Structures are given as structure tokens and as C-alpha cells.
Chains A and B, each alone.
Chain A
Amino acid sequence: MVTSATSESETPLLLSMRGVTKRFPGVVALQDVSLSLRRGEVLALMGENGAGKSTLMKILGGVQPADEGEIIVGGNSVALSNVKDSKAQGIALIHQELMLAPNLDIASNIFLGNEGAGGLLRPLARAKMEARASELVAQVGLTLPVTTPVSRLTAGQMQMVEIAKALSTKARIIIMDEPTSSLASAESEQLFEIIRRLKQTGIGIIYISHRMQEVMDLADRITVLRDGRYVGDLERAEASHDKVVAMMVGRALSSEYFPEKRAQTPSNVMLEVRELLVPGAPDPVSFSARQGEILGFAGLIGAGRTELMESIFGVTPARSGEMRLDGKGYHPARPRDAIAAGVYLAPEDRKRHGLVLNMTVAENTSLPNVASYAAFGWLNRKTEQQVAEEGVKRLRTKTPSIQQAVVNLSGGNQQKVVLAKWLAMAPKVLILDEPTRGIDVGAKAEIYRHMAELANQGITILMVSSDLEETIGMSDRVVVMHERRLKGVLERHELTQLAIAGLMTGQEYAAVHQAGGRKAAGEGELTVS
């Protein structure tokens, strides 16, 4: 499987990275990673969310220097300590969130930071820049005047401007981080065409994508990362969808890590979602969740899971469709409606949406319900403290006291405060978006145990998770989404990493499902047994 050393001598190496390590407080983002890129090659870099791809790219772009390891560009060992160094080595980084100034025109963006030699007060050579910019945009197939402001461009056109910008620096190595994630299919095709052309001029391209089909079409070679480590390389000839997925997810399931699943889930439906059209999604989705069930939502970042949850919680109300909660109609227009109905959301970004970091454990726990402890607007601190103490005891939150500011707690304990906040209000449905993100292993197991307990008490949990192991370990059933569509719902006996990873990278349900020989469910269709 690992063939990186075999054919390096054929074409000269543009770039090689050896033993690159990058640590962040509390986490090792990259551990001893190696990678090489030849002239005129498209190297796909693959891995799950959090595998370290973006960190690796930031190191190459000079945005975050590596802690250890060697980077060799064109035969020379180089230090990339800032963006300028990286540019000087002919490396151009195209970010997933495009890095353009919307208030400037195309030509200005292309030459931003690269206006030529001299001081800050030298005049801009507008005419020359515009002429050169016109040539560059023509190379990438844009037919717009280069004086068009970037704010008027589509995502695809902005991508082309980014590539033109890379070309303007005479980059020999272009890194693209999920370039198609915001593109329509026609725009993607155009991008692939340009990538093929760039290849022929000897430029090496590192292509990060989650879309297996694209990678199979474009890449000459695939490097796989997992958990910040290098897993291996595959030449295109030997690569297959299954093989790559297997390398991406390849760790063994540690079953004792997760609480044992119950023999069977209760059958009465708690939340039923019918033909719900989430703003921005192409198709409506339907599914249902039973009482006391943990329903997992798998998919890549951007698959539309968080948006779906926000519609169920009333943050961005659905455009059409129907929801029933515990047999009654449920149509939240704002989070208050959802909370009143007993549907609570623990958001993905705990620190931004879930907690007021500088408030205490007690204040955070009481926040959604503080009005009900207050008589005539006076806070009832006694009840507040009681509720907070109960929450701390119930979830075994490690905090010196309930008067501690949550900013001082660890990630796992912060998440427990979020849970406690909702548990104090007897939820019917609890939506947990990435419940264990950024939480260390020990605390994760504890959160899992609590989730299982809550489900046993009859609370329905919708769990969005990008961690396949967690999704399989915790869920009774799993809804898989891909590009804002519901790809399928997997029953408990169908839950394998391969099946989920296949669906979430765009395979059809029928392909994944054939082994079971059961009726293939169409999009949005759910087996309501």
C-alpha cells in the first residue's frame, strides 16, 4: 500500500516534507507526517475531518510554522516561517474560505501583496497590472473585465481569481483546499479543466477534497492522513473508493469505549419530520426519531446537518414541510418556540453559541430558564444554585464550585454544563451537534455514558457527529447526508464505517445497501417501522 518511495526518481520532486510535526495546546495536530509532490502531478490529500490536512497546508502556506520536520522545495531545505517565505518558494495556497477582498476589483486582488518591488508609497502600475491580470484571467477561463469588483462574482469565479492570483506569483506548487465545496457542477468542471492545463505546464497541485469521485478523476496519486498521521500513498491505478475509505477510517473499533446498546429501542415516534425544506437545501428531507432513541447524523462538514438541526430548533425556520413532536404539530419559528416545546440544542460551537464563557456554572445552567425562577424580575439565586448543584451532581461535572466561570473548565466539563442547562428543563428531544468535539478521550467516554442514560430515560437524542466511530458506537440508527441531501438511513445492523463513509462521500444508497438485499430506500425515505 505504501509506495511513496518507488517512483520518485522518474520525475523530479517539487516538494517533499519529512517528519513534520505540529502541536497545539493539548493536541498533536500532525505527527511525523511525510509527503512528496512531483512536477506536473495532482496529489490528492485525503482524510476525515480533523485528520490534519488543513494544518499541513497551513504549514506549507507559511501561515503556521511547523514545530519539527524538514521541508524541501526544489532540492533545498527551506524554512517557511511566514506567508512571504512560502510565496518566495513558489507555493500558493488557495483557502477553502476564499481569501479575497470583496471591495477590490479582480486585478487588485490578483496582485494584492505582490505589486512589484519598491516601498509602500510607490505608485500602482494600474495599466500594467490590468493588462497582466487580463492575461491571467483569460488563462483560467474567465471572460470578465478585470475591473469588476470581487463582491459581484460567483463562488466559482472567485475561485478562478484565486488561481489567477497563484499564477501571478509564478507558483510552482498550488494547494487547493476543498476547492469545489462551494461550486456548482458546471463551475467544478471548469475548474478541473484548468487543473489539467496547469498540470501540463509542470505545476504540481496538492488537492484536498472529500469528494471521492473528483479525486478519482483528477488525482495521479492519493496521500491519506488519519488522526494527524501519515497512513500511506496510493497510485491512481491501485486506488479504489473502498480502499481509500478503508485507509481513512482504518482504526479498530474499541467497543468497550461505548456504553452497551439496549436490545431494542422503544417504538413510539417522538419526532417526525416530513418533507422539511431547509433554507439553502436542494431537496426536502424526511425522517423520524423514536422516543429514547439516539439517532446519529453522519456526513462531512458542509453536508447540511447543522442547518437541518437549526431548522428543527427554529433558528432558521424551514421553508416548507411538517414536523410532529409527540403526536402534536411542531413548527418552531424561533428557538423560544422549540424550547417551549421541549426541544433543545447543544450547538456545535460550544464556546460561541452554547455558553456565556465568563459567566459562572450556575448562571449558565439557569440561563434558558432564569425567568421562571424569578419573582417580579428578582433573580432567585437559591433556586438557581439548587438547579446548578443538581446538574453538577447528575453529570459529575468537575468544577471547584458552581460559582466558577465556565471559561476555566475543561472542554468536557463545559459540555456537561451545556447538557445540565437543558436537563434542568426536562427535554423531550435533545439535539447534540458534535457533542465531543475538542474533548479528551476520558471525558468523551463519560459524555457517552450520560447520553446513553438520557436515552434510557426516554429522551430522544439527535446526535450530529463527524466522528464515524462515535456515530456507530452511539447511534441506534444513522441518517447520512451528503451535499445538503439526505442520502439514506442506516438501521443498526447496517452500521459499518464503510457503509456510512460510502454514503457520505456521495455513493448511492443502493450501492451501499445491496449487501443486505433489502429494499433500497430512496432519498429522504425512511423506514418507519
Chain B
Amino acid sequence: MSLALLLMCIALWISNSDFLGASNVVNTTRQISMLGIFATGIAFVIITGGIDLSIGSVVGLTGVIIARLSSTQTGGLGYPLWVGISVALCAAVAVGLIQGLLITRLGLQPFIVTLGGMLLFRGVSQTIVDGGVISMGDSPLLNLASGGLLHVGRDPLFGWPLLIFGAVAALGAYVLHFTVLGRYIYAIGGNREAARYSGINVKRVELLTYVISSGTAGIAGICYAAYIGQMSQQVGVAYELYAIAAAVLGGCSLRGGEGTIFGVLIGASIMRVIDNGINMFQVQYTDQDGIRRIWRLNPNWNWIIVGAVILVAVILDQIVHMVQAARRLKETSARRPVAGPPSSSPPLPAKSGAA
């Protein structure tokens, strides 16, 4: 996948050198970062074998709460920014907690619980903005999206969203790959019964993953509020699907037990580079009359291309898995003769590296 991403970037750069121009890079990086923040969160859920469909609505809900509480414009209550942000984040965590409790304590299916949550919190957002739009005006929050460290010209080299994503991803990678909690998350996704029989508090770990997922969606929601500036109920629609696609492209299996934060980073990048690439990709040619023209992708193909990329990626992944499984089966049967004489300890296929 990393290779695919690299090839995609090179192809786009060759077709249109503006792809690596400062403003496009800054913008694409910001998009990747904002998606990456909550894709990291949902990866936790997906690795345990669960799913969270509500995060797009949580992104919207967070932004709408901030606008409602802190905006000085029409519809805003004009409280200080920190009040809006704190309330919004608490709301996001509460959503994760409630959904997680329903899933783990009542044994409800994550798909249904979070589908309900997705619709319900979308509706809450709609009620808060009363079906309209609340503008953030020139709130200092907007600097969160446009500002950053180490300015080069007008654009920051490290935008705040990128730095936040960096922090979330680093923390996520640390927790997932280097702590006991991370180990438990993989174990639950790999074999839930084995985890339970090993004395792991499976329900508590799963609850935590839903809180993490919703919490990161809240953090992303703050960034989106700063970026968009005009909060309506439409903010964050279908974002959960983007996040799931990013996680799956990054190597998470919806069956659970597989995936890495680095993969999620790659997956989120692919999703956003495709989006950006559909606008940027161009082929220059000279027509019969000798006039130089530029051929561009039809923007109506956006969803077709995104969908096709996801399908092709998972198809390839499945084929690789099937080939590996077949090879392993062959090795196993070759190793174990039927009722043969006892041999010395069987050799193991010398394979290394990640799949």
C-alpha cells in the first residue's frame, strides 16, 4: 500500500507539477491529518473486531456544539472558546461511553448500536443549529486550521492539524503496539475466547476502544470546525466511511486482529490523495488543429474512482491471503506423512517479515 501511495503521488506530480506545490501540499496534508485523527481512533475498534459508524456524526456534533456555545455570530451563545471545546470533547467521549456500554453490557451488535448513534447524533446536531448554519465568524479558533509552526511564506510547514495528528498517531501507535492494552486489543480481535480464557477483561477493553474512537472523532471535529468555519448539520456526513476505508486500506481486517497505525496513516493518505488527485490529474495533449489542450478527469467520477480503489485494494489483499493459505496448507500436508514413522521434530517454514 505504501508503494501504491508513492506511485500515485509520482504519477500525479508528473501529470501536474502543482501537485507538489506549497499550497496543494499544505491543503492535502491538512485533509490527511484531519481524516487520520479519527481513522486512528476507529482502528482501535476495528482491530478488536468491532465497528463504529457514529464517528462522522460525532465529528459534526463536536463542531456544532463549539459553534453554538462559542460563536459570537447569530445563533452562537458567545461563551469563551475553551468552554465550547471542553463541552464538545466531553460530549464526544460520552457518546463513545454510552455506545460502548450498550455494546459490551447489553451484548448489542456494534453495527446496530453505532448506526443508531449515527442517525441520532446527526439529528442532535440538526436540532442544535436549528436546521441552519452557525458561522464561527473570525473566531481565533480558525487559526487552528490555518496556522502552525515554521512558516514558509504564507503557509506553515507544520500545520496544527498535522501536529495534532502526529500526536494522536504517536500516542495511538504507542498504546497499540507497546502497551498491555494494545496487546489485549489484538488478542480480542484474533481470538475472543482465548482472550477471555486468558483472564482478560474483554468487555472493559472493548468499551475503551469505543471511547477512544469517539474521542478522536471529537478532536477531529474541533479541527473541522476551525477549517470549515460555517457549522451546519452537513459537516461530517459519511466521514465514518472514509475512516473505515482508510483503516481497511491500511491493513485492518474487519474480522479483527490485524492492522497498524502506520497502515492507517498510509490508508488515510491514499484516500485524500485520491480525492485531491481527481482534481489535479491532467494530461496535456495537442489536438489535430495543433492547439494545446488539457484533459482532466470528470469530477463526477469521484465516487466511482474512490469505490474502485477500495475494491481493488481489498480484492488484491484477499488474493494474497488465499495464496498464502494455500501454500501453508501444502507445506503442512507435506510435512505430516499419514501414519508414517515418527520423525524428529518437524521443520518449520522459514518465513520472515510481515505479510
Contact = CB atoms under 8 A, between A and B. Distances in A.
B332 interface: yes
Interface in B134-168: none
A316 B351 CA distance: 32
Q: Which of B179, B186, B197, B336 has the most CB of A within 10 A?
A: B197
Nearest to A187: B346
Contacts, number: 108
Contacts of A93: 197
A114 to B, nearest CB: 7
B187 A101 contact: yes
A103 B258 contact: yes
A374 interface: no
B199 interface: yes
A124 B183 contact: yes
Contacts of B184: 112-113, 120
A273 interface: no
Interface string A97-115: 0011111100010001111
B342 A189 contact: yes
Contact of B190 (A103, A126, A157, A186): A103
Interface in B296-352: 328, 332, 335-336, 338-339, 342-346, 348-349, 351
Contacts of B335: 154
A121 B200 contact: no
Given A122-B180, A124-B179, A124-B180, A101 B195 contact: yes
Interface residues of A, number: 43
A101 B339 contact: no
A136 B257 CA distance: 25
A101 B181 CA distance: 15
Contacts of A154: 332, 335-336, 346, 348
Contacts of B258: 103
Contacts of A112: 183-184, 187, 194-195, 198, 200
A100 B198 CA distance: 9
Interface string A175-203: 00000000011110110000000000000
B196 interface: yes
A99 B339 CA distance: 27
Contact of B197 (A83, A108, A186): A83
Contacts of A153: 348
B195 A113 contact: yes
B178 interface: yes
Interface stretch (A33-41, A141-149, A337-345): A141-149
- Tell me the interface secondary structure of chain A in the complex: loop
A120 B345 contact: no
A482 interface: no
B279 interface: no
B190 A101 contact: yes
Nearest to B349: A152
B175 interface: yes
Q: Which of B182, B190, B195, B346 has the most CB of A within 10 A?
A: B190
A101 B342 CA distance: 29
A113 B200 contact: yes
A130 to B, nearest CB: 13
A83 B348 contact: no
Q: Which of B175, B186, B342, B345 has the most CB of A within 10 A?
A: B345
Interface string A513-526: 00000000000000
Interface in B190-210: 190-191, 193-200, 205, 208
Given A152-B349, A154-B336, A189-B342, A114 B183 contact: no
A63 interface: yes
Contacts of B191: 99-102
Contacts of A108: 183, 186-187
Interface of A: 61, 63, 82-84, 87, 93, 95, 99-104, 108, 112-115, 118-124, 126, 141, 143-144, 148, 152-154, 156-157, 184-187, 189-190, 282
8 contacts: A93-B197, A99-B197, A101-B194, A101-B257, A112-B184, A112-B187, A120-B179, A121-B180
Given A123-B178, A154-B332, 7 more contacts: A61-B197, A113-B199, A113-B200, A114-B199, A115-B180, A119-B180, A186-B345
5 closest residue pairs by CB, A with B: A113-B198, A101-B190, A103-B190, A186-B342, A103-B257
